[in-house]
């Protein structure tokens, strides 16, 4: 979000040079810069030993397509803690190790998505009320159920990274 008015006093912001950041919204009343803000989210690919991944449907996102587990970070949380919390809340699975899979900008909601990949054992899913459904799907079948790949699709990017890792592991055997 780019600020137009000061969140503290309501004064209309002006543009003022802020070093290397260039012209930045500035409150002349509070004498404070207001740099753009955005939300931080996590997106987690959960895989089991059978090379299946969890795909979930969130009714507020789509009734047609499924995605990986995702959610907003809470103040004070690290991205890793948030990723584990979201998976536990939405699937009832406690994760051990998780691997960072990069960051992805999601312009539609002005969010920075922190991607993760985690391996766990094949187990029953205990869905939260937030999900319409979730299931284990083979890696090769997953794209049939996922949102079509497009710029800004963090789920597809994390999925591709996982597929690349699987291929690398099989080559190194």
Element (H, E) at 170: helix 154-171
With H, G, I as helix, E, B as strand and everything else as coil, classify residue 171.
Answer: helix
pLDDT tier at 30, thresholds 50, 70, 90: very high
pTM higher than 0.85: yes
Torsion of CA 127, 161, 80, 144, to 10 degrees: -20
pLDDT of residue 96: 85
With H, G, I as helix, E, B as strand and everything else as coil, classify residue 132.
Answer: coil
Tell me 66's DSSP state: B
Measured CA to CA, the distance from residue 147 to residue 134 in angstroms comes to 15
Measured CA to CA, the distance from residue 33 to residue 44 in angstroms comes to 34
CB burial class (10 A; 0-12, 13-18, 19+) of residue 66?
Answer: buried
Q: Which domains are delineated in the chain?
A: 1-37 (no CATH), 39-171 (3.90.79.10)
Residues in the chain: 173
pLDDT of residue 158: 96
* Percentage above 90 pLDDT, the chain: 82
Residue 79 has pLDDT above 90, yes or no: yes
108-164: pLDDT as tens digits: 888 999 999 999 999 999 999 999 999 999 999 999 999 988 888 999 999 999 999
pLDDT of residue 173: 67
């Amino acid at each position: 979000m780019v600020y137009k008015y000061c969140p503290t006093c309501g004064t209309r912001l002006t543009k003022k040079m802020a070093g290397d950041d260039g012209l930045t919204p500035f409150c002349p009343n509070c004498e404070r810069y207001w740099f753009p803000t955005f939300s931080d989210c996590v997106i987690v690919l959960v895989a089991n030993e059978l090379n299946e991944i969890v795909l979930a449907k969130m009714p507020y996102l789509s009734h047609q397509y499924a995605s990986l587990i995702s959610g907003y970070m809470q103040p004070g949380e690290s991205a890793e803690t948030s990723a584990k919390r979201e998976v536990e809340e939405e699937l009832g699975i406690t994760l051990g190790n998780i691997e960072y899979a990069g960051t992805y900008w999601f312009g539609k909601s002005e969010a920075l998505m922190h991607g993760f990949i985690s391996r766990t054992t094949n187990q029953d899913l205990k869905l939260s009320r937030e999900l319409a459904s979730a299931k284990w799907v083979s890696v090769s079948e997953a794209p049939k159920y996922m949102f079509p790949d497009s710029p800004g699709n963090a789920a597809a990017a994390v999925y591709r990274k996982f597929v690349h890792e699987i291929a690398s592991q099989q080559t190194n055997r």
